[in-house]
Amino acid sequence: MTGDMCTELVMQLHELDSVEDAVQAIAEGVLLTTAAEQSAVLLSDRGAGLALAASTGQIATEAARLQLDTMAGPNVSALNHGCDCLVADTSRELRWPAWSAEVAKLPVRSTLALHMTARHQAVGTLLLVNSSPYQFSTVDAMLAGTFARHAASALQCVRRAAGLHEDIGGRTVIGQAQGILMERMSLTGDEAFELLKRTSRRNGINLRELAEQLTTPAS
């Protein structure tokens, strides 16, 4: 992959509307940067470690889950230390013996773990796998690493846009519910909003969900 192709992939990420689509696109896009056969995206779980978010195949999924089960492996190391981690041959890897022994049976013989950061904040990691040893070069790591960092920034942009869209949608439906209560019960806007909040607390239901119930016509 050339630098221009990498830039084009990242630009396409910015155009996606959902976080799920962006994460899957990252998993598929990084395959074009190296000799990886499959890949997986593991996102940072708010200080609780990593969570599997997307993959391009079952072997990559299993290789990732083995790390989550043992809390050890190249991606865990990449997240904790903020650096990329290359495993040339899993059958000779000594840093994480439990993970190495199991992942070699999949078979996965070489891996590349890439840390994803945006504005000095850990976003997650990428896992690239190949069934043969010594498949990832230093140049592969550099190009894939560049993609991972730019993809992390794009993902954060998609997350912010999705959150803003959800926030705007929530305010809209709550406003509609207020209008219904104002008309039905002759309430002011403030009174209708307070009624919604009291009902939400009393019934243990999210305010937006309550508003959606009120504004959705009965079937």
The tens digit of pLDDT for each residue in 27-69 reads 998 898 888 999 999 998 765 678 898 999 999 999 999 998 8
Query: CA-to-CA distance for 54 and 41, rounded, in angstroms?
Result: 5
* Topology at the third CATH level for domain 3-161: Beta-Lactamase (3.30.450)
Domain boundaries, the chain: 3-161, 164-214
- Report the predicted TM-score, pTM, of the whole model to 2 decimal places: 0.72
SS3 content of the chain, % helix, strand, coil (to 5): 60, 15, 25
Quick one: which H or E segment has residue 50?
strand 50-55
Model confidence at 177, in pLDDT bands (50, 70, 90)? confident
The amino acid at 15: E
The CA radius of gyration of the chain, in Å to the nearest whole number, is 23
The tens digit of pLDDT for each residue in 118-171 reads 888 888 999 999 999 999 998 888 889 989 998 888 888 877 766 654 455 566
Query: CA-to-CA distance for 18 and 159, rounded, in angstroms?
Result: 8
Q: Residues 8, 108, 83, CA angle at the centre, nearest 5°?
A: 55
Please give the CATH architecture assigned to the domain spanning 164-214: Orthogonal Bundle (1.10)
10 Å Cβ neighbour count for 206?
A: 10
**Contact (CB, 8 A) for 75 and 64:** yes
